[in-house]
Chain A
Amino acid sequence: MIRYLARHAQVLFFALGQLWRTPLASLMTVAVIGITLALPAGLYLALENAREATAGWAGGAQISLYLRVDTPDNVVGQLADELGHLDGVARTEHISRAAALAEFKRLSGFGAALDALDDNPMPPVIVVHPDDAHSDPTSLQNLMAQISRYGDVDLAQLDMRWVQRLRAILQLAQRGVLLLGALLCVAVLLIVGNTIRLAVLNRRSEIEIITLIGGTDAFIRRPFLYSGLLQGLLGAGAAWVLVHLSLWALSGPLRQLTALYASDFQLQGLGPGPTAALLAAGAVLGWIASRVTVGRHLKAIAPS
């Protein structure tokens, strides 16, 4: 067992030595794998950060109830009180028609045009603020369905749509990153496969001789497998470094941006879990690529 491990360690160092002896070629391969893997890893990180940043945003959801224009003010007040006692509602806010008109005049810039109207076109509005426990999309939908049934309600509008849309976009982007990641994994397979193919062809005569003096396929494969695994692993390491260099480059401008939004959001790097996953993915991809390539070429070279 110890001899077995010693042999593998020897082959590992041999493979490392081979990479070391051709530094430029190895560096280029590792860099290409690094860039290829950095792309999905970076996008994944961007999405995670976007999710992190938008996690607290559902709290701001509110439902605006536009009542019929002819609803008397006292009825509106009563309704606001009643809604305020509903399960899941934190508080309600009553905006009278006069207040609504004043606000619209102030904000829209149509002041003169509105003055020309005979009567106030604005409906009374009740703004319903759900409590924190009922801020998730499903509860909000239920609450909205419940309060839209009140007689005087003309239109209930959930000011949550855009948060939902953002979430949907993020989900779509996540799926996109997954697809892109899968494609780029295939790219890594091809890159490693190609360098291993060249290495096999370079050592063709050596492989032939080893076959003739009784070397098993496993023996011949071993250095190539380690070489592929190392290239994948080093490539993944390069990807990690590239992602964190980009993060570092982005962190300054981002801090300015978040300061403008009075947010204390901080960019997160790849945690231990995703880092391990990235390195493992690189190593496994490298191993698979060289396994397939060497297997194919051994058959072609083998004299029997």
Chain B
Amino acid sequence: MIEFSGVYKRYPGGHDALKNVSFELGTGEMAFLTGHSGAGKSTLLKLITLIETASRGQVVVNGKNLQRIPRRRVPYYRREVGIVFQDHKLLMDRTVYDNVALPLIVSESDPREIGRRVRAALDKVGLLGKERIYPIRLSGGEQQRVGIARAVVNRPPLLLADEPTGNLDAELSDEIMDLFESFNRHGVTVLIATHEVRHVSRLMKPVLVLSNGELTRSLGVHVP
């Protein structure tokens, strides 16, 4: 599903955020990406979502070489990747329902399908019945669940999360992580960037460790 080979990312000014990173994450796998802040976790996720492009090397996602995707095709590529953000990135002036429906509206899905799929996604994250509420009235954990529902509503084969439990206490964090694991059990490939090693040990999933932009350790992930 995700294949990095010899990837470098150099920002203007000469800072190397990623240095010679190579790994493979197979379809249906789930892995953690850990390391100190500034180690390059976010940059790696940004390369997968095409917010940034690699300076050198090759990134292949879902069979697509990301360097070869022209700018106008990028939105269509992004619909294959569900993204969960640390700060949720919810629209506070729209209801929970409208927030979750956004990817379907953006991809111009059949309007008759939208209601059904939004409710299915909210059901999966346990927020059915809070459709009409504005996100501002939800707790941090609930807001993150809305973010997850939005990421999975159009059933992407790949789910990425950047510090999804960053602002949550331990109990809520575990619930969120279990949610990701349940999606993974249903066949979704999941890659989660987190600096909390606790999750890694609790869920016994493969791990990629970044330090200063280099892949220093990996457990259970194929590294060519």
Give 1 or 0 for each of A213-256: 1 = CB within 8 Å of chain B CB: 11111010000000000000000000000000000000000000
Q: Is the CB of B78 within 8 A of A214?
A: yes
Cβ of A179 within 8 Å of any chain B Cβ, yes or no, is no
The answer to whether B89 and A212 have CB atoms under 8 Å apart is yes
Partner of A212, one of B52, B53, B78, B111: B78
A210 partner residues in chain B, CB cutoff 8 A: 102, 106
Cβ A219 vs Cβ B52 within 8 A: no
Please provide the chain A residues from 7 to 52 with a CB less than 8 Å away from any CB of chain B in the complex: 7
B74/A304 in contact, CB under 8 A:
yes
Cα distance, A6 to B110, chains bound together (Å): 11
Q: When the two chains form their complex, are residues B49 and A209 in contact, meaning their CB atoms are under 8 A apart?
A: no
How many of chain A's residues touch chain B, expressed as a range?
A: 10 to 19
How distant is the Cα of A211 from the Cα of B71 in the complex, in angstroms? Answer: 12
Q: Which residues of A contact B49 (CB under 8 A)?
A: 212
B 78-122 binary contact with A (CB < 8 Å = 1; else 0): 110001000001010000000000110011101100000000000
Q: Is the CB of A213 within 8 A of B103?
A: yes
**A54 — which chain B residues lie within 8 A by C-beta?**
none
B126 at the interface (CB under 8 A from A): no
Set of chain B residues within 8 Å of A211, measured between Cβ atoms:
75
Do B91 and A206 touch across chains, with their CB atoms under 8 A apart? yes
Q: Give the distance in Å from the alpha carbon of A217 to the alpha carbon of B52 in the complex.
A: 18
Is there an interface contact between A212 and B91, defined as CB atoms closer than 8 Å? no
A303: Cβ under 8 A from any B Cβ:
yes
Tell me which residues across on chain B come within 8 A of A7, comparing CB atoms. 108
A208 to B51: give the CA distance in the assembly, Å: 11
Q: Taking A7-B108, A212-B78, A214-B107 as contacts, is the C-beta distance between A304 and B91 under 8 angstroms?
A: no
CB distance from B187 to the nearest CB of A (A): 21
CA distance A6 to B51 in the complex (A): 32
CB pair A304 B50 closer than 8 Å: yes
Chain A: minimal CB distance from B2 (Å): 18
B9 at the interface (CB under 8 A from A): no
Q: Is A266 an interface position by the 8 A CB rule?
A: no
B104 to chain A, nearest CB (A): 10
Chain B CB within 8 A of A171 CB: no
Cα A206 to Cα B98 in complex, Å, equals 12
**Cα(A211)–Cα(B75), bound, Å:** 7
Tally of chain B residues near chain A (CB < 8 A) = 24
Q: What is the CB-to-nearest-CB distance from A184 to chain B, in angstroms, rounded to a whole number?
A: 35
User: With A7-B108, A219-B106, A304-B71 as given contacts, are A214 and B89 in contact (CB-CB < 8 Å)?
Assistant: no
Render A187-219 as a binary contact track against B, CB cut-off 8 A, 1 for contact.
000000000000000000110111111111101
Q: Which of B50, B102, B108, B110 contacts A213 (CB 8 A)?
A: B102
Measured in the bound complex, the distance between the Cα atoms of B107 and A121 in whole Å is: 95
Whether B76 contacts A214 by the Cβ 8 Å rule is: yes
Q: Bits for B106-148, please: 1 = Cβ < 8 Å to A, else 0.
A: 1110110000000000000000000000000000000000000
Minimum distance in angstroms from B73 CB to a CB of chain A: 10
The CA of A6 and the CA of B111, in the complex, are separated in Å by 10
Q: Are B74 and A209 in contact (CB under 8 A)?
A: no
Check: B195 CB closer than 8 A to any chain A CB.
no
CA distance in complex: A64, B58 (Å): 94
The answer on a CB contact under 8 Å between B150 and A213 is yes
Contacts of B50 in A (CB 8 A): 304
Residues of chain A within 8 A (CB-CB) of B74 are 304
Chain A residue at minimal CB-CB distance from B74: A304
- In the complex, A189 Cα to B207 Cα: how many Å? 55
A209 close to B51 (CB less than 8 A):
no
CB pair B51 A213 closer than 8 Å: no
Task: Specify the chain B residue showing the minimal Cβ separation from A216.
Answer: B75
User: Which residues in chain B, 23-56, are within 8 Å of chain A measured between CB atoms?
Assistant: 49-53
20 A-B residue pairs with CB within 8 Å: A205-B89, A209-B102, A210-B102, A210-B106, A212-B78, A213-B78, A213-B79, A213-B150, A214-B76, A214-B77, A214-B79, A216-B72, A217-B75, A219-B75, A219-B106, A303-B51, A304-B50, A304-B51, A304-B53, A304-B71
B residues contacting A by CB (< 8 A) are: 49-53, 71-72, 74-79, 83, 89, 91, 102-103, 106-108, 110-111, 150
| Interface residues, chain A, with chain B CB atoms under 8 Å away | 3, 6-7, 205-206, 208-217, 219, 303-304
